[in-house]
Amino acid sequence: MKARIQTDTERLAYIEAINRVPLDGKRTYTGEWKLYRKSRSPSQNRYVHAIFGAIARETGNSLDTVKYTLKEMHAPKVPVVVGEIERMVPLGTSKMSTAQMSTFVDAIKAEAAINGIDVPDATSDNFASFCEHYGV
């Protein structure tokens, strides 16, 4: 059962629904309570992949290398625990909020500029041709 809760009424209805779930001691249920964040938009995703493609083509690096490197350099980091070892790893773009993605896009646009690549704004007239040129 999944729900977005914004009001006390919605919270009470969700609690009532949970209370109606029969517990038999054999099956286990899990739950999570977290603050909802709007995830990055499809247009932001297309934009970031166009920039990845441009940097890969213009620098001669593979697309995978560019994605990995730029995420390592500029993506927000989250803790991942494997056994007893905790490591901070880059957050995947599909898990980023719109604000996190905007910050990430600004950083990788700066990296593109360092490499002599002029990245148009996503709303500019030549953005579509930029995407076509770099195969996105």
Residue 70 belongs to a domain: yes
Q: Which residues of the chain have pLDDT under 50?
A: none
For 86, list phi and psi in degrees, rounded to 5. -110, 135
Local structure of 65: helix, strand or coil: helix
Answer yes or no: are the C-beta atoms of 66 and 52 closer than 8 Å: yes
Question: What pLDDT shows up at residue 112?
Answer: 95
Question: What pLDDT shows up at residue 131?
Answer: 83
Q: Which domain holds residue 92?
A: 42-133
At residue 114's C-alpha, the angle toward residues 107 and 98, to 5°, is: 15
The CATH number covering residue 52 comes to 1.10.3790.10
Question: What pLDDT shows up at residue 79?
Answer: 94
Answer yes or no: are the C-beta atoms of 44 and 98 closer than 8 Å: yes
Question: What pLDDT shows up at residue 68?
Answer: 96
Question: What pLDDT shows up at residue 91?
Answer: 94
Residue 15 belongs to a domain: no
Question: What pLDDT shows up at residue 127?
Answer: 84
